Structure 1
Amino acid sequence: MLSPEELRHYQRHVSLPEIGTNGQERLKAGSVLVVGAGGLGCPALQYLTAAGVGRIGICDFDRVEVSNLQRQVLFGYSQLDRPKAEAAIDGLSDLNPHVALQSHIERFTPENAERLLSGYELVLDCSDNFPTRYLVNDACVKFGKPLCFGSIFKFEGQATVFNYKGGPTYRCLFPKSPNPKDVPNCAEIGVVGVLPGIIGGLQALEAIKILSGVGEVLSGKLLLFDALTLRSNLVNFTLNPANQSVGDLKEIDFSCEVPQSSDDDEIQQVFPHELCTRLGCEASPILLDVREPWEMEICRIEGAVALPLSHLRQPPPVNLPPELSSDETVVIYCKAGVRSMMACEILRQSYGIKKVENLVGGIDLWSEEVDPDMPRY
């Protein structure tokens, strides 16, 4: 039963003939686990809470960072460095005190999947990586939970519902995970801030439809949305019965570790203070910046040659800057030292430039130890 206060809160829902008091009571009796409290999870959580879903779980182990605030609208500066699952509850509790909220400050893993899913009847996958997507899908199939899915990339978004009443699963649409080398690094791409709100809202809408029993669920249909043209398309996909059987839960191998060099000698690592000293010498090394152009506009080390890793990773031969040669020592840097290691390997293996060194900690550590006035991002 809905209390008088709840009836006032949900008046605009109850006045819809398709929902009414019966549908609202079904929402109140419903429970949803949201995996990921980021760009997609924030708007989804807000609308699920406002709609009156009785019990909502938030699974996320990450903490709030400044760069999240452009799109993760549940958070503000006062919540920086707090666990997202915990910080989200503050705003959601004020939005609707009639909803029970539970934080799960942990990664979704094969070990805790059954425990997490057992308390909820429906799951929203608001994660941002392929291993979690495959794992959440497999767990939902194994334990019989419908899965409202969303994903975003730059100006494009996708949404659908998997495993609804025995319908198609994530693996029916994407049987194989992509090669990690083909997936752009998070720092190489961006996303327009409004897009997660649109797609996350669609995920919440599908969950509300399922729980209240109204409308046609987006099962077996993938919604594709282009924010630049405001065009959307529906792509039909079908069930592969083989994907309805799941054994032991496992995380797919999607290691983003830097590949080991085929050479016997390891790549030389150089620390910021050491590099600063060497740059003042007569035989100073060539400095190569492999970040994206937008990153270079924010800050860069003076005198560095620009060659984004996204360009260097294209099939060889890539036209290299004339400053690079097999005779000169090249010190490569990025934001934190990961992309630069990849660039070191590519230059060694594909272009025969052996005298490469990696700046430890990238421009982040450089700004801390050498140039504290440098803008950070």
Structure 2
Amino acid sequence: MNRYDRQIRLKGFGEDGQQRLRKARVLVVGAGGLGVPVCQYLNAMGIGAIGIMDGDFIETSNLHRQPLYTPSDVGKQKVTVLSAFLSKQNPETEIIIYDTFLHSGNATSIFSEYDLVIDATDNLSTRYLIDDACVICNIPWVYGALHAYEGQISVFNYCGGPTYRCLYPEMPAEDEIPDCNTLGTLGILPGIIGNLQVLEAIKVLCDMQEVLSGKLMIYNGLNQNIYQLSFTKNKKLIRPDLKSGNYGRESGCELPGAIEVNSFVAQTRAANHILLIDVREPREYEVGHHPGAINIPLGKLEESLPDLEKTEQVYLICQSGKRSYQAYRELSPLYPKTVFSWITGGMEELKALLR
């Protein structure tokens, strides 16, 4: 118990709080800017079990805000590197990794194994899925989000309290609200918000007072102001079931230029030559790529592209579809005579299909 001596001495926490932490199981969805500090501090403070879910790989552009990862980790799977660090940091913690993305087919089966979910993602559709799945499983979740120099934190579905849909009833279109890839973010901000998420998680798990349920806390990094907005539970809210919720990549085919992996394979099976551009980082490409794909990282598209003026069809692929969609949006206006298609689900689903 020497490891946790300073926590146990704290009035209002004590041995009871430490024992509650030791018995708790928390799922962290996302192993990036928010997920790294969340996992580090939960692990250091003595949580019983941490589940980490993320299907993404480490990129060079991650390193400024995900300082646990190093240049030698680029191209490696995030959950693998993060779990190895956590096991060394605190061998007593049970670490469970899910090297996949959250979707409606796996949400409730995984969530039901945990006491609390922490949202460490960076897209809206996943948050609506987390909210709906937590309501079905009757567990609370801690929300964290970044927007330019601001961050938001709240706790949803806590003791029958308001949910994310009570605050934001309808999911905006995918391109209505930009993520940090578009807006950019200071490296320190995810660390601040991630640590505040851990604080709320500890309060929930240890039955402490003043949980941010029914309150949205907004942190402004420029002027260091913090303010709160109150909201109430919407008892008339009609919540979609997960099969009809239209979440994330499952609705990706509705976005312009999208093509599902099975359609891509069918269209290109008889072709002698196709132009498939893999926009992942070189280390990811080296780990595994589709035969014939050329590697041009997303950040180097404009300076490294081949001559596309006379190319009729170009396919774009990344790990999950997010970066290839961004590449589609950048390239389409530049080459109006070329048809661009980005592959939803990316290499993750393509490898699963071709096994």
* TM-score (normalised: structure 2): 0.73
The amino acid of 1:55's aligned partner reads: A
The amino acid of 1:258's aligned partner reads: P
Matched, 1:356 2:351: no
The amino acid of 2:42's aligned partner reads: L
Given the superposition, is the C-alpha separation of residues 239 and 29 from structure 1 closer, same or farther in structure 2, using an over 3 Å criterion?
same
Number of the residue aligned with 2:79: 85
> Is the CA contact (8 Å cut-off) linking 2:148 and 2:180 kept in structure 1?
no
Matched, 1:169 2:166: no
Given the superposition, is the C-alpha separation of residues 360 and 187 from structure 1 closer, same or farther in structure 2, using an over 3 Å criterion?
farther
Select which of 110, 126, 132 maps to 1:138.
132
Post-superposition Cα deviations, 1:55-89, rounded to whole Å, max 9, x if no partner, equal 11001111111111111122112322222112111
Post-superposition Cα deviations, 1:352-374, rounded to whole Å, max 9, x if no partner, equal xxx8345979xxxxxxxxxxxxx
Post-superposition Cα deviations, 1:263-317, rounded to whole Å, max 9, x if no partner, equal xxxxxx9999xxxxxxxxxxxxxxxxxxxxxx79x9858xxxxxxxxxxxxxxxx
Matched, 1:47 2:41: yes
> Is the CA contact (8 Å cut-off) linking 2:46 and 2:93 kept in structure 1?
yes
Number of the residue aligned with 1:251: 246
The alpha carbon displacement at 1:181 in A equals 3.2
Given the superposition, is the C-alpha separation of residues 239 and 300 from structure 1 closer, same or farther in structure 2, using an over 3 Å criterion?
same
Post-superposition Cα deviations, 1:69-122, rounded to whole Å, max 9, x if no partner, equal 111122112322222112111111121111111101111111111221121110
Given the superposition, is the C-alpha separation of residues 245 and 131 from structure 1 closer, same or farther in structure 2, using an over 3 Å criterion?
closer
3-state secondary structure, aligned to 1:182: coil
* TM-score (normalised: structure 1): 0.69
Select which of 209, 216, 227 maps to 1:222.
216
Matches within 5 A, 1:209-358: 209-243=203-237, 247-249=241-243, 250-252=245-247, 255=252, 257-258=255-256, 300=303, 337-343=327-333, 356-358=336-338
| 5+ residue gaps, structure 2 | 259-273, 278-298, 305-309, 311-322, 342-355
**Distance in 2, Cα, partners of 1:26 & 1:198:** 25
| 5+ residue gaps, structure 1 | 1-6, 261-268, 273-294, 302-328, 345-354, 362-377
Count of aligned pairs: 291
Matched, 1:99 2:97: no
Post-superposition Cα deviations, 1:142-166, rounded to whole Å, max 9, x if no partner, equal 1101010000022110000000001
> Is the CA contact (8 Å cut-off) linking 1:259 and 1:342 kept in structure 2?
no
Post-superposition Cα deviations, 1:39-68, rounded to whole Å, max 9, x if no partner, equal 111101111101111011001111111111
The amino acid of 2:14's aligned partner reads: G
The alpha carbon displacement at 1:259 in A equals 5.8
Select which of 177, 185, 189 maps to 2:183.
189
The alpha carbon displacement at 1:178 in A equals 1.3
Given the superposition, is the C-alpha separation of residues 358 and 156 from structure 1 closer, same or farther in structure 2, using an over 3 Å criterion?
farther
